[in-house]
Amino acid sequence: MELDAFGPALDRWLDEHAAALAPDRATETLDQHMAQLAKVKRLTYDAGFMRWGWPERVGGLGGSTILRAYLGEALAGRDLVEPGIYSMTETLAPTMIDHARPALAADMVPRLLRGEETWCQGFSEPGTGSNLAALACRAIRGDEGWRVTGEKVWTSLAQYAQRCVLLTRTGAPDSAHGGITALFVDMDSPGITVRPIETMHGAPEFCEVFFDDVDVPFGRTLGQEGQGWSVAMDLLPFERSTALWTKAAYLRRRLQDLVEVAPADALDPAALGAAVQLLAAFRARSRATQYRLATGEHLGPETSIDKVLVASAEQAVYDLVEAGLAPEVLLGDDAGPSRWRSEYLFSRAATIYGGTAEIQRNIIARRLLDLGADR
């Protein structure tokens, strides 16, 4: 399947099934977004579109990853899925495909693609935000498997998740990058407690997750013991390629929505023009990234530029939203205004999550500009 056949076929199918795919927009809650996501994934999986671009050994139909980029763009651009929660698949499924036992990947990945399951990513901890390699959540080798004790935070969608890709410390406490092991954990295992965090944008999508003597079989190890850092690093290119592409398609859609509804004199033309240019520049850069990913090229620190750009674009778009729709964003309480407000507030985190703007600039300075160590 090539893009020139896939694209029109998908667009036609989406047109024909618009009613079945349409979200219920009576209220804007995370529960509803999750239900919508599951529905859209199931329908697109059953129609085959969700399977293209994934290997056949995990239930896919093969073909280029470009097809996945097109699908994500089509779904987000039509406002059928929220791009952040949609893109969890784009970061976690490749991790399973590359690092899980083949039988485990073949069993699990289709559940994620079909929308039957939600997975979460247990990386950050209270003591390790930007400094991920200092993580402390402990996994101790037992006779039957690992025993995990520790705490994770900012774990998106953990309250919905059936599984977790978890980074644990299996080496000495000071083993840094070298003593981390990645595990694939069932979230219904005894000893796991999930506590959603109330955040300023109103959707409790981040959680604290507590692990108290949680048993994880050795067969659930992703990659080799002590190789967890490279599992995590292999995940990042996906987080900064297809996922960002989908995010930008959604931003474009929301900016289009804004120029349709905002009063003519409420938007500063210069700020609007700059946001349009920024989105176009991100798209141009990310398009090249998508094709590099598709041809199997290794994606590295240069994707930090993509990340900085999309975060700037997101904040530029929602600065316009807040200015152009001030009465709705500041005073509105119906579903539509609440959604604009929530998205505006969430955009403030665009330079924080997934590696802060400062971390991205550190990577650019050290790896792309060769400026050496910063101390």
Partner 1 sequence: MDRAELALFDRTLRGATEAHSGAALDAALVELGWHEALVDDRPAAVSLLFEHQGRTAVTSGALDDVVARALGTDTACAVVLPALGRAEPPAHEDSGGVIVDGLGTPRLLRTDTALVAVRRDGDGDGDGDEGEAVAVVKTADLACRPVRGMDPDLGLVEVTGAPTAAAVTPIDPDRWDGAVTGARLALGHELVGASAAMLELARVHALNRIQFGRPISAFQAVRHRLADSLVALESAHALLEAAWLDGSSETAAMAKALAGRSARMVAGHCQQVLAGMGFTTEHPLHRYVRRVLVLDELFGSARSLTDALGRDVLSRRRLPPPLPL
C-beta atoms surrounding 137 within 10 Å: 22
Instruction: Answer yes or no: 82 catalytic.
Output: no
The alpha carbon of residue 278 and the mean position of all alpha carbons in its chain are separated, in whole angstroms, by 21
To which residue do tokens 């209270």 refer? 126
CB 290 → partner 1: shortest distance, Å? 7
Q: Is residue 373 packed enough to be buried (19+ CB in 10 Å), middle (13-18) or exposed (0-12)?
A: exposed
- DSSP-derived letter for residue 371 is -
Nearer to partner 1, 5 or 280 (CB): 280
* Sign for the pseudo-dihedral over CA of 18, 20, 25, 31: negative
Q: Which of 117, 239, 314, 328 is catalytic?
A: 239
CB 259 → partner 1: shortest distance, Å? 5
Report the SS3 class of residue 146. strand
CB burial readout 338-369, b (16+ within 10 A) else e: bbbbbbbbbbebbbeebbbbebbebbbeeeee
CB 268 → partner 1: shortest distance, Å? 7
Nearer to partner 1, 129 or 145 (CB): 129
Nearer to partner 1, 73 or 205 (CB): 73
What is the binding site for partner 1 (CB under 8 A)? 3, 7, 66, 69-70, 73, 249, 252, 255-256, 259-260, 264, 267-274, 276-278, 280-285, 287-288, 290, 305, 308-309, 358, 360-362, 364-366, 368-375
Name the token pair of 8: 């029109």
CB 265 → partner 1: shortest distance, Å? 9
Closest CA to 344 of 203, 135, 168, 216: 203
Nearer to partner 1, 146 or 282 (CB): 282
Catalytic annotation, residues: 239
